[in-house]
Amino acid sequence: MDLKEKLVTSFLAFENKGGLDLDSNVHSIRSKAIQNFEKEGFPTKKDEEWKYTSLNSLLKHDFSLFPETKKAVGFKNVKEFLINDIESYTLIFIDGVFSSFLSDTTHDDCDVCVLSSALTRPKYKMVVDNYFNTIAKDNNSLSDLNTAFAKEGAFINIPKNTIVPKPIQILNFSTGSESEVMIQPRNLVVVGENSHVQIIERHQNLSKNTVLTNAVTEIFVHKRAIVDYYKIQNDTETSSLIDSTFVSQKQQSVASVHTYSFGGKLTRNNLEFYHEGEHITSNLNGISILNNKQHVDNHTLVNHKHPNCESHELYKGIYADKSTGVFNGKVIVQQEAQKTNAFQQNNNILMDDGASINAKPQLEIFADDVKCSHGCTIGQLDDSALFYMQSRGIPKKEAKALLLFAFGNDVVEKIKIPQLKTRITKLIAKNLGVELGFEF
Amino acid sequence: MLSIKNLHASINDKEILKGINLEIKAGEVHAIMGPNGSGKSTLSSVIAGKEEYEVTEGSVVLNNEDLEDLAPEERAHKGIFLSFQYPIEIPGVTVTNFIKTAINETRKAKGLDELPAKDMLKLIREKADLLEIDRKFLSRSLNEGFSGGEKKRNEIFQMAMLEPQLAILDETDSGLDIDALKVVANGVNKLKNKDNAVLVITHYQRLLDYIVPDYVHVLYNGKIVKSGGKELALELEEKGYDWLK
Ligand SMILES: Nc1ncnc2c1ncn2[C@@H]1O[C@H](COP(=O)(O)OP(=O)(O)OP(=O)(O)O)[C@@H](O)[C@H]1O
Ligand SMILES: [Mg+2]
């Protein structure tokens, strides 16, 4: 049985066993989603959006779909993956199951809790009906697949006029309880008018076993609200991640999504912004640093539908060994979206002959009074700069790292949580195999 | 201190240095002059260890150690400093961070601990003052958007920080206005002592009024065709190079 068949046939059992309310709206959303998935199947390289990323070898694995955790996971096992030196709310999932023991949730001024309770409790019915799967719907077969099995993940519901006092960390761990595991976290984030929240998300495999994560996050940003969402992708070489993030923004809101891809066998990011009002700002920042045979694919979309909005996109990539990257940045400026400011920049450095990047900026502009720009570069480290630095006593390896740090610095600079910035800087240094005597 | 014997070097199979002999002793100042394209910068790059150049014959020996197999950074750790004719722009790395890294890597190579931040700051300030460099300058990206003169002054600032044993100044005077030339020359002279040496490459006598050489050499078509005292520079200024061909 191939993976698609296996997923489709286990759907009924999943719904029956899951203690899920079969009369609910959610049930019909799930049923439609699995039908869509059954019809579309997994994307192949024939699909224009998947031209440079193949799921073929990944789909050959015999994934266990509902893994059971066998080993107890304690705080000491997960500590190093948290940003520890800040106060935060934490939502920790082990093999797709919420760990209340390790987590720190709240219902005080806002809801920082789990999707399973949101989907089943009458209290949250309105929120679910209004938001759940409204942007992810009919987007692509992998999101449909996630929707069909959507059961657990983060549910963050911020009422209006609320500044969430500390960042929220969402961590998804897999323990490798079975040799090949597929997990499908589903997050729903609703941020009310004038509210502000910072979220840090990470997927981490604690074992050497194969893990495929197919995650979907929907983020709703109301009037004048501010959302900063940080994604740390630094998983093991047996872990693959398909991460779809959909952001819907109301007028005058500011949403920033930062994606740090430092590791994983295959990482595919679908990041999409939809505008539902004027004077919206969307920021997309990304930095990928890969080696060995790792692969990252960043597909982004900003859909400018209304006048006077802006988007700023900055993606950098450093590819060593035989690693490969894809950048596909689509910006649509619809006819009504006059006075749009849309900027996109994608810069890449190839460290070795075996590394490659496919970069494709796609600007589709239908309005005439707009400011749009895009730039894309692919280069190597400058030998004369390296010699210059070496001649001042800086060894080649450190010289390279310094140049690469400088290259990625404008992305790192955008991190608004200082402790996170320090952590990301350290992760970058670790990836480049150096210790730096100062902070950028 | 530095002993160059029958040095031949080529790039892309084109021979540029065609048998250079040069002895520099501690405490001395040497000047190399010579027409454009004669190989002056090539010689300095070869001494500093630029890998693109292939040494086909001869040797460069520093304090009785053949430098052939040493990487540029190892040569720097042993006390060689090259002030570039065209300093490279390093966007995103500030002057301060760059020099800190250079100092600490050099210390590390010598088995010393990193210089404490306080001492580093003090040293940076002292040397910046010596070269009359504005503090604000130090937090700018290295050489990025610097004027020609600013770049050169910054090279000498780095030299002052690193206190090399052998400083090679490749056309450090070009791009400097008269006042800056004095400041830079004064900086070099302050660092000069009986244990170190300077090799100045220049086209003009005027730098040599300030940094007075013990010896002047003329490099022509990859060879040193004439050596003399400081009066040779005056003679060259007057007569050009034609008479040496
Ligand atoms: N990468 C290279 N490939 C081919 N020829 C080169 C290369 N680099 C230098 N050369 C040649 O080597 C010769 C010497 O160059 P070099 O820069 O050493 O001259 P120079 O004496 O410093 O000149 P200037 O006074 O103009 O600074 C020149 O003819 C130059 O064109
Ligand atoms: Mg030259």
Span A133-143, pLDDT tens digits: 999 998 899 99
**Look-up of token digits 């999932």:** A93
Q: Mean pLDDT across the stretch A221-226?
A: 98
B81: chain A residues, CB-CB within 8 Å: 391-392
Q: What is the pLDDT, as a whole number, of residue B239?
A: 86
B92·A389 Cβ contact <8 A: no
Q: What is the pLDDT of residue A143?
A: 97
Pull the structure tokens for residue B119: 């001492």
| pLDDT over 70 (residue A234) | yes
Residues in chain A: 440
Beta-carbon count within 10 A of B226 CB: 18
B72–A391 C-beta distance less than 8 A: yes
> If contacts are CB pairs under 8 Å, which of residues 105-134 in chain B contact chain A?
105-106, 109, 114
Task: State how far residue A421 is from chain B, nearest Cα, in angstroms.
Answer: 17
- A278-292 average pLDDT score: 97
Ligand 1 centroid – CA B87 distance (Å): 16
A413 chain-B contacts, CB cut-off 8 A:
none
pLDDT (mean) for A187-213: 97
C-alpha closest to that of A391 among B243, B113, B101, B77? B77
The yes-or-no verdict on residue B245 having pLDDT over 80 is no
Query: What pLDDT shows up at residue A185?
Result: 97
pLDDT band at A267 (very low <50, low <70, confident <90, very high): very high
* C-alpha distance from A382 to closest chain B C-alpha (Å): 10
Compute CA distances A246 → A220, B8, B161, B169, whole Å: 9, 63, 52, 57
- With CA atoms as reference, the chain B residue closest to A405 would be B92
| B76 contacts in chain A (CB < 8 Å) | 390-393
Cα B219 to Cα B35, B37, B44, B81, distances in angstroms:
8, 10, 12, 20
| Nearest Cα residue to atom 25 of ligand 1 | B36
Closest by Cβ to B72, choosing from A387, A405, A437: A387
Please check the confidence at residue B185 and state whether its pLDDT lies above 70: yes
Q: Which alpha helices (H) appear in chain B, and where do they start and end?
A: 40-48, 72-77, 95-109, 117-130, 148-162, 178-191, 205-210, 231-239
Contact B73 A437 (CB under 8 A): no
Q: Chains A and B: how many Cβ contacts under 8 Å? A: 86
pLDDT tens readout for residues A301-351: 999 999 999 999 999 999 999 999 999 999 999 999 999 999 999 999 999
Choice between A19 and A37, residue whose per-residue pLDDT is larger: A37
Above 80 in pLDDT, residue A93? yes
Confidence band of A68 (pLDDT split at 50, 70, 90):
confident
Q: To the nearest whole angstrom, how far is the Cα of A388 from the nearest Cα of chain B?
A: 7
Instruction: Determine the average pLDDT of the residues in B190-203.
Output: 94
Q: What percent of chain A has pLDDT over 90?
A: 85
pLDDT confidence band for B92 (50 / 70 / 90): confident
Query: Does pLDDT of A18 surpass 80?
Result: no
Cα B11 to ligand 1 centroid, rounded to whole Å? 10
Please check the confidence at residue B37 and state whether its pLDDT lies above 80. yes
The pLDDT of residue A264 is: 94
Ligand 1 surroundings by CB, under 6 angstroms: B 11-12, 14, 16, 34, 36-42, 85
Is any Cβ of chain A less than 8 angstroms from the Cβ of B73? yes
- The per-residue b/e assignment along A416-434, b for 16 or more CB within 10 angstroms, e otherwise, is ebeebbebbbebbbebbeb
Question: Per-residue confidence at A1, pLDDT binned at 50, 70, 90?
Answer: confident
Chain B residues with CB under 8 Å of A396 CB are 71, 73
* Residue A150: per-residue pLDDT: 93
Q: Kindly report the length of chain B.
A: 245
Indicate which residue's Cα is closest to atom 9 of ligand 1: B42
Classify burial at A264, counting beta carbons within 10 Å of its beta carbon; exposed 0-12, middle 13-18, buried 19 or more. buried
Arithmetic mean of pLDDT, A234-243: 96
Contact B84 A385 (CB under 8 A): no
Residue-range domain boundaries for chain B: 2-244
Q: Is residue A439's pLDDT more than 60?
A: no
What strands, in cross-sheet order, belong to the sheet with B166-170?
A: B80-83, B166-170, B197-201, B29-33, B215-220, B223-228
Q: What pLDDT is attached to residue A21?
A: 62
Range list of H helices, A110-180:
115-120, 125-131, 141-148
Contact at CB, A391 and B75, closer than 8 angstroms: yes
How far apart are the CA of B182 and the centre of ligand 2, in A? 22
pLDDT > 80? residue A22: no
The whole-number average pLDDT for the span A221-233 is: 98
User: How confident is the model over B217-229, as pLDDT tens digits?
Assistant: 999 999 999 999 9
Share of chain A above pLDDT 70, in %: 97
Mutate to test the pocket of ligand 1, among B20, B32, B38 (most ligand atoms within 8 A of CB): B38
Q: What is the pLDDT of residue A20?
A: 59
With contacts defined as CB-CB under 8 Å, which chain A residues touch B158?
A: 392
Instruction: Name which residue leads in pLDDT, B239 or A186.
Output: A186
**Interval A339-367: pLDDT, tens:** 999 999 999 999 999 999 999 999 999 99
As residues whose CB is below 5 A from the ion ligand 2, the structure lists B 40-41, 85
- Range A4-26 average pLDDT: 81
Q: Label residue A265 by pLDDT band (50, 70, 90).
A: very high
Calculate the average pLDDT of chain B.
94
Q: What is the mean pLDDT of residues A371-388?
A: 95
Closest Cβ opposite residue B82 in set A391, A437, A438: A391
For A319, the token pair is 């590819």
Mean pLDDT of the residues in chain A:
93
- pLDDT exceeds 80 at position A106: yes
For an interface test with B, give the residue of A287, A381, A390, A434 to mutate (most B CBs within 10 A): A390
In angstroms, what is the span from residue B79 Cα to ligand 1's centroid? 25
Q: Which helix (H) or strand (E) holds A154?
A: strand A154-158
**Which pLDDT band holds residue A17 (cuts at 50, 70, 90)?**
confident
How close is the Cα of B16 to the center of ligand 1, in Å?
8
Distance A430 CA to ligand 1 centre (A): 39
Checking if the pLDDT of A438 tops 60, the result is no
Question: Is B82 touching A (CB cutoff 8 A)?
Answer: yes
Which pair of tokens denotes residue A115? 């999707």
Q: Which of residues 156-175 of B touch A (CB under 8 A)?
A: 158, 162
**Residue A217: both structure tokens together:** 């996050």
**Mean pLDDT of all residues in A157-167:** 97
Q: Answer whether A389 sits within 8 Å of B104, measured CB to CB.
A: no
What CATH class has B2-244?
Answer: alpha beta
A314: chain B residues, CB-CB within 8 Å: none
Nearest CA in chain B to A384: B88
The whole-number average pLDDT for the span B93-108 is: 94
Q: How much is the pLDDT for A97?
A: 93
Question: Which residues in A have their CB inside 8 Å of a CB on B?
Answer: 382-385, 387-396, 398-399, 402-403, 405-407, 409-410, 436-438, 440
